[in-house]
Amino acid sequence: MARPHENPSPDAAAPRVRRTGHPVGGTVPAITGAAAPGVVPGRSRGGSGGGAGAVARSRGIPPTDARNRRISDALEAWFAREARDLPWRRGRTAWSALVAELMLQQTQVSRVVPAFDRFMARFPAPADLARADDETLLTHWAGLGYYRRARLLRAAAAHIDAVCGGTVPRDASALRRLPGVGRYTAGAIASIVFGAREAIVDGNVTRVLARLEARRERADDDAGVRWTWARAESLVRASASPGVFNEALMELGATVCTRAQPACTACPLRRECRAAGLEDAGAPASIPPPKPAAVRRPLHIDAVAVIERGRILLERRPESGLWAGLWQMPARESAKAGGHDALLRWTRDHLPGWRPAAAPLHAFPHATTHRAVVIRVWRGERQATGSGRDRVSSDRVWQRLTVLDERPMSSAHRRAIEHAVALLPAGTRRDRGSA
């Protein structure tokens, strides 16, 4: 189930389960007649609908209601056979669907799978999440990134609890009044959970529909977005089960009609796909045109590992900006790489009684949506005079290495700590009692 700006390719290998129907949206009706799924009656199996006819069809000829029904029937039948067995598809409720949709925004399915059940066990109802503090919330969101979504989900839970009587709204317009819920998420919940005839558009849907109609124009400008929503609406109107169709459309983009290497021979829509009939090299993989590559701003982080008696000094990041409110080792950040002298000056102000070792223990890159991050990990050395151990507060703590999971951290800073602990002398890591 891909989401806007999600890279679905790592999920193509997720397990599939054979089903007779969809667990919530109802069963998928059988396709009548002798034609196999995706095959237009009366069309030879030997061809792919290509050649001059496909090119002519791609020149603005509107799709017919009959073609829309063929597409939706074939896709719903395919999904009944090939849907991946994902945890949010089992015993789905409106609340679990809302949680899954927020988790899946800009996040790969493979990262959401291990987090979903853990989150739902801790927050089985909106009221449970509405009462959670930041530390508890972010700890259970760990590994998903984009932590602002977690706070938006909590705000949505609070609205549901206070305004909606603890029940997730059924219709798309009411859903869109929830914090963090836009047109796509509202349509997904309303259609998949409640069977409403609402369209959805995410990155996977955009790609599938552009190829289906061989549309070479940009998909991410205003005209492209309007066209994609209109095309999705025309198809969901023709579907037997809107929820099944919408989820199938996303599933197709995530597992078959992928960005770089679409598996056209396995596609249930190959007979209807106009891009598949084009004769120029690169089609349909070249459709839609790729977005310009994002320019990531450089960010250099020098993290100082202050470890004593089996404890590590951690500090909390500011409540806004990158990795807001998460924990990390004390760190200097800069747009330009700094040397040891710059870090030494920084530690005099921020870590009195400590200094960085002469050379870093480890360095590694980390990419976020907007930043190209390089993290260097330095061992903190105690100086002869002064002490940094007493400078603790609500935003700076000594944390036992054995219970680091109690503190929510970004994956990058958790990795930095893992390198620091692995490379320090064993005596430094041993817990010798209270600090």
Query: In b/e form, how buried is each residue of 49-82, taking b as 16+ CB within 10 angstroms?
Result: bbeeebeebbeeeebeeebbebbbbbbbbbbbeb
Rounded to the nearest 10 degrees, what angle do helices 94-104 and 109-122 cross at? 140
C-alpha 84/C-alpha 82 separation (Å) is: 6
Q: Which positions ≥6 away from 158 have C-beta within 8 Å?
A: 126, 130
| Residue 198 CB-half CA count within 13 A | 24
Pick the closest to residue 193 from 96, 282, 102, 120 (CA basis): 96
Q: Determine which helix (DSSP H) or strand (DSSP E) holds 250, and give its type and residue range.
A: helix 242-255
C-alpha 159/C-alpha 153 separation (Å) is: 10
Q: Known catalytic residues?
A: 101
Confirm if 242 and 195 have CB atoms less than 8 A apart: yes
Question: In which residue are the tokens 């020149």 written?
Answer: 59
Angle at 73 between CA 71 and CA 78, to 5 degrees: 95
User: Beta strands 331-334 and 297-305: pairing type?
Assistant: antiparallel
Confirm if 102 and 182 have CB atoms less than 8 A apart: no
User: Beta strands 371-382 and 297-305: pairing type?
Assistant: parallel
Pick the closest to residue 350 from 333, 362, 366, 337 (CA basis): 333
Pick the closest to residue 375 from 298, 293, 297, 296 (CA basis): 298
| Residue 398 CB-half CA count within 13 A | 15
